[in-house]
Structure 1
Amino acid sequence: MGEYTGQTRILVAVDCIIFGFDGSDIKILLVERDLAPDKGKWSLMGGFMRPNESPEDAANRVLQLRTGLNNVYMEQFRVFGKPDRDPVERTLSIAYFALIDIQQYQQQLVSDNHPEWFLLTDMPDLIFDHAEMVKLALKELRYKAALHPILFQLLPGKFTIPQLQALYEGVYQTRFDDRNFSRKLLSTGLLVKQNEKDKQSSKKGAFYYQLDQSHYEEKFEKFLNLVPNPDKFF
């Protein structure tokens, strides 16, 4: 097979913005960079795409190799390609955001590169344009969450309404009215109340709920009104 003559080679990388929820706070997973320049500084999960890989294959490989995580929800959302974004070589980055339940995957994290969870409001300085990636990934996540119950990917199989409210408030960095949020949530018909209660958060306890997967497709549009005035977040 021939080559295109007179063309400059450009590297292609993938970067994964991993959002997690620990039951009370929304966080982001970062690692210490192991390459110069900026070795030892905080970075997103990233790596170069191999010639025989699709972007999705590369993102999954990088995620598994650098964190030990696999089979998590991941979605491509943007390509970052400013000519000077990487000071070493001309590099395009295909960015993905991933959503995981921290409590479910915490024990799987590998120790290489010292992965650490940070609050979105308390992130350290990041290398290159990674801070911009996080900002735009959060914007995309907010947009998706206002149209679709995508944030359930961050929850365990059973959860309480206060936990779900804390998740939405963390993603949107705002406060929702307790009664209105609960009323809108239950009116979707997508939550199945369990007999069991979470007694850790209060003496009275809060009932656990599960997502009704059998009616998910037909009822998910009722989540459209869950976030008041979503346009102000974009």
Structure 2
Amino acid sequence: MEDREFIENYDPTEFPAVAVTVDTVLLSVVDGKLVALLQERGAAPFAGKLAIPGSFVREEEGLDEAAERVVATKARLEHVWLEQLYSFGAPGRDPRMRIVTVAYFALLPAKIALQAVDRHPDLTLAEVAEPGKLAFDHAEILRTAVLRLRGKLDYVPLAFALLPEKFTLRELQQVHEAILATQFTKPAFRRRMIDQGWIEPTGEFESGTPYRPAELYRCKPQQD
């Protein structure tokens, strides 16, 4: 009954306007460092500051559609798998008006992340450990994405999204160490990866190295 009375007596002028945005945290591992793809803002507020690529949600689109549009138009990337991260709605997080943002995150191979930066001067890669002063509450959003990634690393094969199709155990270890900000011994890490059952050898070896070439592995197809 209370809900029905509320609908019948609803007056939109009694409620403050609230806008909705999406922000897309795009993470990669480059040169052994966990980095985020950030964009320099060209307009106020925070003009000139680095920010997570984002946008207001248009009236005709859903949240997922808006996030895909942001990745395509601001990061200039296509076919990126996005996962919804968290909603951020603290009062005052945006000086323009009350804005709630729904954050997404995605993982990019180093090659893709570097190509995006090379092609577009407003994009940059910043180490997540020291990203500098970001616009809005984007430092908090970035920290939340890193915590989510670390929390899922042991039970979801997310790390392989940061690697080429065929990779060495050394490269896989570097990715895990960058995400977790820790070091592993080579034998212990190798045993851990093999015990998880996520990887299989390809029978091929890396080429063009000045040292003994390492065997290449790939991620096993995941069973539903």
8 Å CA contact retained: 1:66, 1:110? no
State the TM-score, normalized to the length of structure 1.
Answer: 0.84
Q: Report the Cα distance in structure 1 between the residues aligned to 2:66 and 2:118, rounded to whole angstroms.
A: 18
Query: Which one of the candidate residues 40, 47, 60 is aligned to 1:52?
Result: 60
Name which one, 1 or 2, has greater alpha-carbon Rg: 2
8 Å CA contact retained: 2:128, 2:142? no
Distance 1:125 1:99, change over 3 A: same
Q: State the 4+ residue runs in structure 1 displaced beyond 6 angstroms.
A: none
Query: Counterpart in 1 of 2:124?
Result: 116
User: Does 2:151 align with 1:148?
Assistant: no
8 Å CA contact retained: 1:68, 1:109? no
Match of 1:78, SS state, is strand
Query: Which one of the candidate residues 73, 84, 87 is aligned to 2:81?
Result: 73
Query: Counterpart in 2 of 1:194?
Result: 202
8 Å CA contact retained: 1:23, 1:163? no
- Report the alpha carbon displacement of residue 4 of structure 1 after superposing the two structures with TM: 4.8
Q: Which runs of 5+ in 1 are unaligned?
A: 219-234
- Report the alpha carbon displacement of residue 89 of structure 1 after superposing the two structures with TM: 1.0
User: Does 2:223 align with 1:217?
Assistant: yes
Q: Report the Cα distance in structure 2 between the residues aligned to 1:111 and 1:197, rounded to whole angstroms.
A: 31
The alignment of Structure 1 onto Structure 2 pairs a total of residues equal to: 215
Q: Report the Cα distance in structure 2 between the residues aligned to 1:122 and 1:105, rounded to whole angstroms.
A: 18
Distance 1:105 1:130, change over 3 A: closer
Distance 1:179 1:110, change over 3 A: closer
Query: Counterpart in 1 of 2:92?
Result: 84
Query: Counterpart in 1 of 2:102?
Result: 94
User: Does 2:37 align with 1:40?
Assistant: no
Deviations 1:136-163 (A, max 9, x none): 1100111111221112111111111111
User: What RMSD, in angstroms, separates the aligned Cα atoms of the two structures?
Assistant: 2.1
